[in-house]
Amino acid sequence: MSRKPKKGYFVRGQFVAEGSELDLELKAELKGTTEASRTDLKRESTALQKLGEALLTLRADLLERLALPEKLTDALAEARRITNFEGKRRQMQYVGKLMRGLDEATLDAVRAALDEQQRGSAQTTLALHQAEQWRDRLIADDDAIGEWLTLYPGTDSQQLRALARQARKDAQPDKTSISQGLAPRRGRAYREIFQLVREQMEAGDE
């Protein structure tokens, strides 16, 4: 039994089957309105709603700097207050609708502000990890103290050495801790070294 040929047409020597992706693209060029364009609009609408959701997490100073329309800032404030799931979902749909009214320059500014906040969060996390590593090294090794003082000569060396000695002393396990398998105790000196390290690192970055 012969196979029924597909319906379609030729464009520049290429066969285009009806209903294919290429067929829809060509019709979009001719008519300007097809199912494909409606899909694109829906995709864009979803992306803008997600951008609006991200705005809920933006710091107040960055949000204020954007100078968004009052309707949108009020809608975002209301979304933060709503705790009911369905109510929040509807409010975010409204936020998405307002986002579609923003011009491209404002949308670019929103994305840039979110990127700036994300970079700041990543840098803060990295700085905390570095401070923790230095704290542990300074307590564990006297040579690390000399290395630190070379990098951060503004540090009070006497204070740092005294804190390191006290932190080591505090960490010495007693008989009860050993018998119960408890972790070494961390006293005030342990916390104060971390604070000192953070302050010196921040001063060095300025």
**Residue-range domain boundaries for the chain:** 8-102, 123-205
Q: Find residue 11's DSSP bridge partners.
A: 14
Same fold, 8-102 and 123-205: yes
> For the chain, how far is it from start to end, CA to CA, in angstroms?
81
Cβ contacts of 155 within 8 Å, gap of 6 or more: 148, 149, 196, 200
Instruction: Return the residue matching tokens 């979110």.
Output: 114
Instruction: With beta carbons less than 8 A apart as the criterion, state whether 99 and 109 touch.
Output: no
Instruction: With beta carbons less than 8 A apart as the criterion, state whether 204 and 152 touch.
Output: yes
Class of domain 123-205 (CATH, top level):
mainly alpha
Structure tokens at 42: 């829906």
Largest CA distance in the chain: 96
Structure tokens at 195: 């604070």
Helical spans, DSSP H, in 56-187: 60-66, 70-81, 85-99, 104-140, 142-151, 157-171, 175-180
pTM exceeding 0.75: no
Which helix or strand (DSSP H or E) is residue 11 part of?
Answer: strand 8-11
Q: What pLDDT sits at residue 34? A: 47
Class of domain 8-102 (CATH, top level):
mainly alpha
C-alpha separations of 147 from 141, 142, 151, 206 in Å: 10, 9, 7, 21
DSSP 100: T
**Per-residue pLDDT tens listing for the chain (206 residues):** 445 556 666 766 677 777 677 777 776 666 555 454 567 667 777 888 888 888 888 888 888 888 888 999 999 999 999 989 999 999 988 998 888 888 888 888 888 888 888 887 777 788 888 999 999 999 998 899 999 999 999 999 999 999 999 988 887 765 554 455 554 567 788 889 999 998 998 887 66
140-179 burial, b at 16+ Cβ within 10 Å, e below that, comes to: eeeebbeebbeebeebeeeebeebbebbeeebeeeeeeee
Q: Which residue, among 134, 139, 137, 111, has the nearest Cα to 48 in the 3D structure?
A: 111
